[in-house]
């Protein structure tokens, strides 16, 4: 009986291996591919996803649609994809909240590191903005101003535990300063209050209203739009750099042949000159010049999540579960 069981198990394993190439070859003949965006329609993430869908459809010869599933800090859309069949027909397109959310919430219904990581295709260098109402024009001057006014300098974010909040908390720890966090529901009202002088600084990505000061790059390299302004590291603020990225994931255990096919096809779209022109026209940001794929993408995400957890613990960030 035991020998028979081992024979059957081996037979099924062999059949699975032989079916994988055929499955990849037939993909995607079954049905339209759905790209889930865990954000509202019309935003930058949604626009990038729709441009990608347009060009991916041309390459695959199969309909590719975008479905918006916002809410609960993006966890609704992420959980939906996590629990979808691992057949290549449901993908997730998301930004850094994919790694920040599990750093501030321990009750998520999914495990972010169990997803199939396909490709990180967009990377944007954020910058440090300052209100025109405060007497600072450089990153060192901002740090000096905060040290001279401990617990009085206000910074805005897009919500408690959101990426911008986490980034500013990380800046405080690295610079040895302490400000006052003022949460908003989006970045637009942050800029409005910065112009009015109701808050002093924040970190975000362009575009932004005229009149707001740009002090330097929060990214790992200088912002292409402000090549003469230093990074945090160059200004002596070590360990507070971050970058805004967008990438594609699939449900856990997606067969490798299908994962490889999707990764290669999406990479081809991101290198297409016509697609690049559309991305730039719509969002001012081209795709990354170098992509992270598969295990390399996963390792970076896991490392990033670990770093954000350290920020949460150090700064005692509490988010209502």
What are the tens digits of pLDDT across the range 25-49?
Answer: 679 887 999 999 988 788 778 889 9
| Distance from the first to the final alpha carbon of the chain | 51
pLDDT at 10: 47
Percent over 70 (pLDDT), the chain: 92
Q: What are the phi and psi torsion angles at 23 (to 5°)?
A: -60, -45
pTM of the model: 0.78
Query: If you write DSSP's letter for every residue of 83-96 in order, what string do you get?
Result: TS-SSSSEEEEEET
Collapsed DSSP state (helix, strand, coil) of residue 228:
coil
pLDDT at 124: 87
pLDDT at 1: 47
Average pLDDT of the residues of the chain: 89
pLDDT at 13: 45
Which whole-number Å values give the CA distances from 302 to 112, 113, 240, 276, 295, in the listed order?
9, 7, 17, 29, 10
Least Cα distance to 249 among 213, 287, 297, 180 occurs for: 297
| Domains defined along the chain, listed by start | 19-123+243-313 (3.40.190.150), 127-242 (3.40.190.10)
Per-residue pLDDT band for 12 (boundaries 50, 70, 90) equals very low
Per-residue pLDDT band for 4 (boundaries 50, 70, 90) equals low
């Amino acid at each position: 009986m035991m020998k028979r069981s081992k024979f059957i198990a081996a037979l099924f394993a062999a059949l699975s291996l032989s079916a994988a190439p055929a499955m990849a070859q037939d993909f995607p003949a079954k049905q339209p591919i759905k790209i889930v965006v865990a954000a509202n329609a019309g935003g930058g993430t949604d626009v990038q996803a729709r441009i990608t869908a347009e060009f991916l459809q041309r390459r695959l010869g199969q309909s590719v649609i975008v479905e918006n599933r916002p809410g609960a800090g993006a966890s609704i859309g992420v959980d939906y994809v996590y629990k979808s069949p691992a057949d290549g027909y449901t993908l997730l397109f998301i930004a850094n909240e994919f790694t920040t959310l599990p750093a501030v919430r321990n009750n998520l219904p999914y495990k972010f590191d169990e997803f199939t990581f396909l490709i990180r295709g967009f990377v944007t260098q954020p910058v440090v903005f300052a209100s025109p109402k405060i007497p600072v024009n450089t990153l060192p001057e901002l740090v000096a101003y905060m040290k001279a006014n401990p617990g009085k300098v206000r910074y805005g974010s897009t919500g408690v535990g959101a990426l911008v909040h986490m980034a500013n908390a990380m800046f405080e720890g690295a610079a040895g300063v302490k400000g006052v966090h003022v949460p908003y529901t989006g970045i637009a009202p942050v800029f409005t209050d910065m112009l009015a002088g109701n808050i002093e600084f924040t970190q975000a990505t362009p575009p932004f209203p005229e009149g707001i000061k740009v002090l330097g790059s929060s990214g790992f390299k200088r912002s292409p739009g402000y090549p003469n302004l230093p990074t945090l590291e160059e200004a002596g603020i070590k360990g507070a750099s971050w970058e805004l990225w967008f990438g594609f994931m699939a449900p856990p255990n997606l067969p490798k042949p299908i994962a490889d096919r999707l990764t290669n096809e999406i990479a081809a779209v991101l290198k297409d000159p016509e697609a690049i022109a559309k991305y730039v026209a719509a969002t001012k940001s081209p795709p990354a010049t170098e992509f992270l794929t598969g295990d390399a993408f996963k390792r970076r995400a896991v490392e990033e999540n670990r770093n954000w957890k350290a920020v949460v613990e150090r700064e005692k960030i509490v988010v209502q579960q």
